[in-house]
A = this chain, B = another copy of it.
Amino acid sequence: MTLVFELDPDQPTEQLCYTFGGSAPVFELPQRTLLRTWTLDCFAGRVRTVEDRPSVVCDPRYLNPQTGPFFVPGASPGDTLAVHLVSLKPRENWGVSTTVPLFGALTSTGLTATLQPPLPELTWIYRLDNRQGLAHFTARESGNELALPMNPMHGTLGVAPSLGEARSSLTPGSWGGNMDTPELRAGVTAYFGVNVAGAAMSLGDGHARQGEGETCGVAIECSMNTTLMVDVIPGSYVAWPRLESDTHLMTTGSSRPLEDAFRIAHTEMVHWIADLLELTTMDAYQLVSQLAESPIANVVDTAYTAVCKIPKALIGDPVAMSGTHRRLRRLSP
């Protein structure tokens, strides 16, 4: 059985949510059932030509719309929700990136506040060739063109946070949210600690491609056709989102300064590896120190995100998270 949650393309705004937490579920999504749905781009489709500027055409209250939240029967506080991304396909033949005034890693911002004027606000439209898997870059102020391999991902995926909070979909944290890591691609399972009955999972912010760090603050944004399947690991709560692919175990941390995001991801990995390999904390600390790949996810959101990756093959390919990734992979088409 495949469920379909369809946005009304003419009036999607009513069905969307802009916070993790604080929104009523729009759809019931049973465990281990394939869901086909789609997401709008982070500008809700309002930036379509190089003449469109986000500060003019977008309302800051309605940026980064999320599809959901989905109510997962059986998911209770204290459990872990697994979300397996089966496939991600850009929905249109174009994507968009921009600079946004006082947003991004190489500019002052509302938090890293300076007295300097903002950088120019520019829009780039990418032609997406979904058959060849290429995103075509055209420089705005120069003559260059380049073909970049697509690497579709969701910038945003998560559940309702703890402590009764409702957090903007522009922010990442322990509930997931706007982590903006290219690791969140098809074939990957994401794990989140459940804080409210039904988990209240939502997703959005599709990227045809994104550099690590999302330096200018905006990836190649596109609406996305996504197929996924969820599962619940009862009585086990991950404090911070984890990811698992066929080849890697991954932990994430989101905070400021960036070294704190790193510290979170790496302490989580040390404890995870200690559990999986039955090592003491110190032995696991040593092993992670020699094995970790440490790509930065984003240095632009209100919290920064760091990822710690461990190649499964180097640690004996252990069965992690009750084998949930393998199970969902097997159940998926």
**Residue of A105, A124, A239, A291 contacting most chain B CB atoms (<10 Å):** A105
The answer to whether A108 has its CB under 8 Å from any CB of chain B is: yes
The answer to whether A293 has its CB under 8 Å from any CB of chain B is: yes
The answer to whether A211 has its CB under 8 Å from any CB of chain B is: yes
A277-292 near B? 1/0 per residue, CB < 8 Å: 1111111011111111
B residues less than 8 Å from A31 (CB atoms): none
Q: Which residue of B lies closest to A107 (CB)?
A: B114
Segment at the B interface, from A37-45, A78-86, A225-233, A294-302:
A294-302
The answer to whether A117 has its CB under 8 Å from any CB of chain B is: yes
Q: Is the CB of A115 within 8 A of B119?
A: yes
Given known contacts A97-B290, A306-B296, A263 and B112 CB-to-CB distance under 8 angstroms:
yes
The answer to whether A314 has its CB under 8 Å from any CB of chain B is: yes
B residues less than 8 Å from A9 (CB atoms): none
Q: Is the CB of B211 within 8 A of A106?
A: no
Q: What separation, in Å, do the CA atoms of A190 and B214 have in the docked complex?
A: 26
Min CB gap A38→B, angstroms? 22
The answer to whether A316 has its CB under 8 Å from any CB of chain B is: yes
Q: Is the CB of B292 within 8 A of A213?
A: yes
Q: Is the CB of A289 within 8 A of B216?
A: yes
Q: Is the CB of B216 within 8 A of A260?
A: no
The answer to whether A304 has its CB under 8 Å from any CB of chain B is: yes
Q: Is the CB of A211 within 8 A of B107?
A: no
Q: Is the CB of B279 within 8 A of A144?
A: yes
**Residue of A139, A163, A209, A219 contacting most chain B CB atoms (<10 Å):** A163
Min CB gap A70→B, angstroms? 19
The answer to whether A267 has its CB under 8 Å from any CB of chain B is: yes
Q: Which residue of B lies closest to A20 (CB)?
A: B165
A122-157 near B? 1/0 per residue, CB < 8 Å: 101000000000010101111010101100000000
